[in-house]
């Protein structure tokens, strides 16, 4: 089967690194994630990764508890750098060449993000991990992922979640919930029950024709199947309609 996507932006939540812990980084969970990434790297897919920091620190939540919003967001950016370094270490261990870039300058641990350099890394067969969001407060990592997907000319933004796509109701609480095979950006933005990404990230992708694939990261093989173009998850694009699977 022909690869559906050749260059992807993979958006991963920091929670994927928690494993069996309540917070922080579980080395076993990070290594498992690295093996999944290795599976699509073997298909000669060019990969950029944006990783969140919610397993360590959530800027928005901290700002509601009294920390200045800008300060809290910068702290959250530092959490994403820690996660990026952990994932870099795991990818090194499984034999995948990788570079970490940061939107905040910290040359001792990561390259500064330079668009052309990031593209060149991918062209040379290296995975790039993009940390610290956009380097600016008041911007989520979802919006940072949308921005990076566009400026790196990715074929798709792949949003990794705990469920296999977008559902018409919470599948955890409702066994009868139905998965959307495809969804329009308009419905994703306007339907209150759909909270897969923040509105600004969705609007950015809509306005610039960047498709989004929502899939289950924890289902073994689903990432590879999505790359191969199989009918899994939920696909959003400017030319799609909202259709239940």
The mean pLDDT of the chain is 92
Domains held by the chain: number = 1
pLDDT at 3: 62
* pLDDT of residue 215 exceeding 50: yes
CATH code of residue 159? 3.40.1160.10
* pLDDT of residue 2 exceeding 70: no
Which residues lie across from 213 on neighbouring strands? 158, 235
pLDDT at 77: 95
Distances (CA, A) of 92 to 35, 43, 122, 124, 172: 11, 18, 16, 16, 35
Residue 188 lies in a domain: yes
Of 59-63, 95-99, 182-186, 203-207, least confident by mean pLDDT is: 59-63
Task: Check if the beta carbon of residue 198 is closer than 8 Å to that of residue 140.
Answer: yes
Residue 1 lies in a domain: no
- What is the pLDDT confidence band of residue 45, given thresholds at 50, 70 and 90? very high
* pLDDT of residue 39 exceeding 70: yes
High-pLDDT (> 90) share of the chain, %: 72
High-pLDDT (> 70) share of the chain, %: 99
Q: Give the pairing type, strands 234-236 and 212-216.
A: antiparallel
Residue 2 lies in a domain: no
The radius of gyration of the chain's CA atoms, rounded to the nearest angstrom, is 17
**What are the tokens at 61?**
């939540």
Is residue 74 helix, strand or coil? helix
| Percentages of the chain per state (helix, strand, coil), in multiples of 5 | 35, 20, 45
Residue 79 lies in a domain: yes
Of 40-44, 122-126, 144-148, 224-228, least confident by mean pLDDT is: 224-228
Domain range enclosing 51: 7-244
Q: What is the pTM of this model?
A: 0.93
């Amino acid at each position: 089967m022909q690869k559906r996507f050749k260059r992807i932006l993979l958006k991963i939540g920091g929670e994927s690194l928690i494993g069996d812990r309540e917070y922080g980084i579980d080395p076993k969970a990070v290594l498992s994630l690295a093996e999944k990434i290795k599976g699509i790297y073997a298909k000669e897919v060019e990969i950029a990764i944006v990783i969140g920091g919610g397993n360590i620190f959530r800027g928005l939540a901290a700002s509601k508890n009294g920390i200045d919003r800008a300060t809290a967001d910068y702290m959250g950016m530092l959490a994403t750098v820690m996660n990026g370094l952990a994932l870099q270490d795991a990818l090194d261990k499984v034999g995948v060449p990788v570079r970490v870039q940061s939107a905040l300058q910290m040359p001792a641990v990561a390259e500064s993000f330079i668009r052309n350099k990031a593209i060149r890394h991918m062209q040379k067969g290296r995975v790039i991990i993009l940390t610290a969001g956009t380097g600016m407060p008041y911007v989520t990592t979802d919006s940072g992922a949308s921005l990076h997907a566009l400026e790196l000319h990715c074929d798709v933004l792949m949003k990794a979640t705990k469920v296999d796509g977008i559902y018409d109701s919470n599948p955890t609480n409702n066994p009868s919930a139905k998965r959307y095979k495809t969804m329009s950006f308009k419905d994703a933005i306007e339907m209150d029950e759909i909270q897969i990404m923040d509105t600004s990230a969705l609007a950015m992708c809509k306005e610039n024709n960047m498709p989004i694939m929502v899939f289950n990261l924890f289902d073994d093989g689903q990432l590879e199947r999505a790359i191969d173009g199989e009918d899994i998850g939920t696909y959003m694009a400017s030319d799609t309609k909202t259709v239940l699977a």
